[in-house]
Amino acid sequence: MESFQTSDGRKLAYTTLGTGPTLVCHPGGPGFAGAELGDLGGLSATRTLVLLDPRGTGGSDAGPDYSLDGYAADIEQLRNHLGLARMDLLGFSFGAVVAIQYAAAYPDSLAHLVLAGGLAAFTDEGQTHANTVIASKSDQPWHADAVAALAQEERGEIDDMAALWVREAPLYFAQWDEKYRPAVVAGAVGASAAPLLASNAMGFDVRGELNLISAPTLIVCGRDDFICGPPAAELMARGIKGAKVVYLENTGHMMFIEQAAAFRGAVSDFLKAG
């Protein structure tokens, strides 16, 4: 793990994996560290992945706040630290929200933008989709506990974020399989409840920033993603001029675990196309 000091004296940590052109990556949550992303489904074979531990997670110090402006400013400081004139940026889940904010605020710093399993805002259409997908899994033995854990998170009852995530995780796959559990557990390393609680209190809505994005943009969406599914992807695509959308079949939210090859191919093809 590497780190640098921000302009206000905080430590921001990140992990570098792989070889090839640099791809800066922001995980989700909020509250997950870079470990959540693993090697992004093997993307590290052709890209140098810079996996950021956002403020308050993993090896990074807490920030003065957990605002989207603050998260975006941290990415800009990371870009400067890495010596990149312009960078490719991937935001996953809540990291996509941050990436949208960054792309709107720092357009000259961005070469390509990848929004993976992301959203711009919670909407009624998105909630209807979520309810339908969750209900479709009601016959699974893990369903009741996963739904209870999700409700506990939404109430802000988060004593152990990693343990709560492991209980919720089956909902985030199109077809849960116990073979995914080691990756789920590993992805919770460095997770922290504080950023999530702060975000839940503030809320977010970056729909107004979508039309400010000028970088070539790829939106990757799992068809069976309950929280950031097709309604979320369609909303982003309508707002970002020229955005390309790739839907991954038989895929939930954790696309780089469940359909690693399809995810890797979609991102690689987009970045290579330039």
Domain that holds residue 54: 2-124+191-273
- Sheet with 110-116, strands from edge to edge, namely 2-5, 11-18, 48-53, 22-26, 87-92, 110-116, 217-222, 244-248
In this predicted structure, the answer to whether residue 140 has a pLDDT above a threshold of 90 is yes
Number of folded domains that form the chain: 1
Question: What local confidence, expressed as pLDDT, does residue 209 receive?
Answer: 98
Could you tell me how far CA 9 lies from the centroid of its own chain? 26
Domain assignment of residue 154, yes or no: no
In this predicted structure, the answer to whether residue 117 has a pLDDT above a threshold of 90 is yes
Domain assignment of residue 206, yes or no: yes
Q: What is the mean pLDDT of the chain?
A: 97
d(C-alpha 242, C-alpha 42), whole Å: 27
Domain assignment of residue 157, yes or no: no
CATH number at residue 70: 3.40.50.1820
Domain assignment of residue 169, yes or no: no
Domain assignment of residue 153, yes or no: no
Predicted confidence band of residue 171 (pLDDT cuts 50, 70, 90): very high
Question: What local confidence, expressed as pLDDT, does residue 229 receive?
Answer: 97
User: Which residues lie closer than 8 Å to 141 by C-beta, 6 or more apart?
Assistant: none
Q: Are 153 and 183 in contact (CB under 8 A)?
A: no
Domain assignment of residue 180, yes or no: no
* Beta-bridge mates of residue 58: none
How do residues 207-258 score in pLDDT, each as one tens digit?
999 999 999 999 999 999 999 999 999 999 999 999 999 999 999 999 999 9
Torsion angle of C-alpha atoms 68, 99, 103, 6, degrees rounded to 10: 60
Domain assignment of residue 197, yes or no: yes
Question: What local confidence, expressed as pLDDT, does residue 273 receive?
Answer: 77
The pTM assigned to this predicted structure is 0.97
Predicted confidence band of residue 198 (pLDDT cuts 50, 70, 90): very high
In this predicted structure, the answer to whether residue 274 has a pLDDT above a threshold of 80 is no
Residue type, 241: K
Strands (E), the chain: 2-5, 11-18, 22-26, 48-53, 87-92, 110-116, 217-222, 244-248
The string of DSSP letters for 258-272 reads: HTHHHHHHHHHHHHH
Domain assignment of residue 48, yes or no: yes
Give the least confident one: 91-95, 156-160, 209-213, 238-242.
Answer: 156-160
Any idea how long the chain is?
Answer: 274
Question: What local confidence, expressed as pLDDT, does residue 255 receive?
Answer: 98
Question: What local confidence, expressed as pLDDT, does residue 239 receive?
Answer: 98
